[in-house]
Chains A and B, each alone.
Chain A
Amino acid sequence: MLEKKYKSLLKNNMANDKNMNCQECEKSIWMYSELSLVERSYIDGHLESCSDCRKLKEEIKTVSQILKQATPIIPEPKNAAALTNRIMEALPVKNPWKNWVLDVWDNMWLQNSLRFASMVLIVFFVWESKPDSNQMKRLFPTGETVILNSVAFIRKYEEIRNAPKGVTFYQRYQKVKKTNI
């Protein structure tokens, strides 16, 4: 990340610039072991001219060197064989059918096929629910389904209302139905 910037600064001989941002340099000092050669040479250039940063680097180096003298502790389980047995006992018994179902379910091809099939079904239902769809007309005759075609229903209602008078609304409806047939 910083390498590009440092490369261009080195090219322009600005590595020994006293005014280099010490705050920026501080982070690089802490991360010195992670820096690339280009980044290091740039920081070294600044360290030559900045006593504060040099002092910080020395301090960090001293503590790191002391910590490196620590006896390396390689933690190991007290009883490795017992731990292995404990782990093996904790393993659940595998149910081949359950695993098969899970494996099938995890199959990306199957998942994508199901996604595609559901999309096709959604498109089909949306298409089929259009008021002028032939199949919908066949399934639900115009005017008898309020939800599907409220305009047609109102028209039919008007037709029944204006029909020759009967005793009840239903009788008028029957008359209209007969005339339509």
Chain B
Amino acid sequence: MPKQLDPALINKAMAGDRQAFRHVVETYQGFLYGVAYRYLANEADAEDAVQETFVKLWKNFSKYRPEIKLSTWIYRILVNHCLDQKKNASYQRKLFQVSFETSFQLGSVATPLNELTGKELAVVHQLAIEQLIGKQKMIYVLREMEDLASTEICQLMYINEDQVKSNLYHARKKIQEFIKKQYG
């Protein structure tokens, strides 16, 4: 998680100061891009998601309450946007094409898992993540890739800890099954 911003700067941004808001964008955009890219698996979509998140933040900044961390609030906007994006039909078609191309490139080489290099393993892991859907995928990305605690995920996604654990269990199982099937 990025560093917390000065409350005075946040207040300025809330009041509509564009320069202060620029600071907010610069602080959080890299961090948001990371989550969006891991979830959407596409550079252009990730950039669009980050842009959309900040536009929504700008429009609704007056509703922000300092009791919640700003990073948590922004994260929540992004998570909702990403989950909505995945329901989009055109996005599903594009995703199928991308996954198909990636699996074609990787699938042609039948190298055992333990002989793959670090970079190849990272691609395999990303490809396995692509097998997950919706909340399950988001929870896996936040827990395993972003290293957020279960309690933080609960706050971000408005779900309880049992739901987080249940989704994580199914996600881990699916990922291992996929890897075993492809490289086992």
Identify the A interface with B (CB < 8 A): 1, 27, 30-31, 34, 59-60, 63, 66-67, 69-78, 80, 83-84, 86-88, 90-92, 94, 96, 99, 102-103, 106
Q: Which residues of A contact B29 (CB under 8 A)?
A: 77, 80, 83-84, 87
**Residue contact A90 to B33, C-beta cutoff 8 Å:** no
Distance, CA A84 to CA B46, complexed state (A): 14
- Within 1-60 of B, Cβ neighbours of A (below 8 Å) are at 16, 18, 21-22, 25-26, 29-30, 33-34, 37-38, 43, 46-47, 50-51, 54-55, 58-59
**Residue contact A91 to B62, C-beta cutoff 8 Å:** no
Partner of A1, one of B38, B46, B162: B162
**Residue contact A69 to B121, C-beta cutoff 8 Å:** yes
**Residue contact A66 to B113, C-beta cutoff 8 Å:** yes
Given A75-B37, A78-B43, A106-B62: A70 and B169 interface contact (C-beta under 8 Å) = no
Could you show 16 A-B contacts with beta carbons less than 8 Å apart? A1-B162, A27-B169, A30-B173, A63-B179, A70-B119, A70-B121, A74-B34, A75-B38, A76-B34, A78-B43, A80-B30, A88-B22, A90-B55, A92-B55, A96-B16, A99-B16
**Residue contact A71 to B180, C-beta cutoff 8 Å:** no
**Residue contact B18 to A88, C-beta cutoff 8 Å:** yes
**Residue contact B55 to A60, C-beta cutoff 8 Å:** no
Distance, CA A102 to CA B16, complexed state (A): 14
Q: Which 6 A-B pairs have the closest CB atoms?
A: A70-B121, A71-B118, A75-B37, A70-B122, A87-B54, A94-B16
Min C-beta distance of B98 to chain A, whole Å: 15
Given A63-B179, A92-B55: A73 and B169 interface contact (C-beta under 8 Å) = no
Distance, CA A49 to CA B172, complexed state (A): 25
Identify the B interface with A (CB < 8 A): 16, 18, 21-22, 25-26, 29-30, 33-34, 37-38, 43, 46-47, 50-51, 54-55, 58-59, 62-63, 113-114, 116-119, 121-122, 124-126, 150, 162, 165, 168-169, 172-173, 176, 179-180
Distance, CA A96 to CA B58, complexed state (A): 13
**Residue contact B54 to A91, C-beta cutoff 8 Å:** yes
Report how many A-B pairs have Cβ atoms within 8 Å. 103
Distance, CA A69 to CA B176, complexed state (A): 15
**Residue contact A34 to B150, C-beta cutoff 8 Å:** yes
Taking CB as reference atom, which chain A residue is nearest B16?
A94
Distance, CA A73 to CA B37, complexed state (A): 11
Min C-beta distance of A94 to chain B, whole Å: 5
**Residue contact A31 to B169, C-beta cutoff 8 Å:** yes
**Residue contact B37 to A92, C-beta cutoff 8 Å:** no
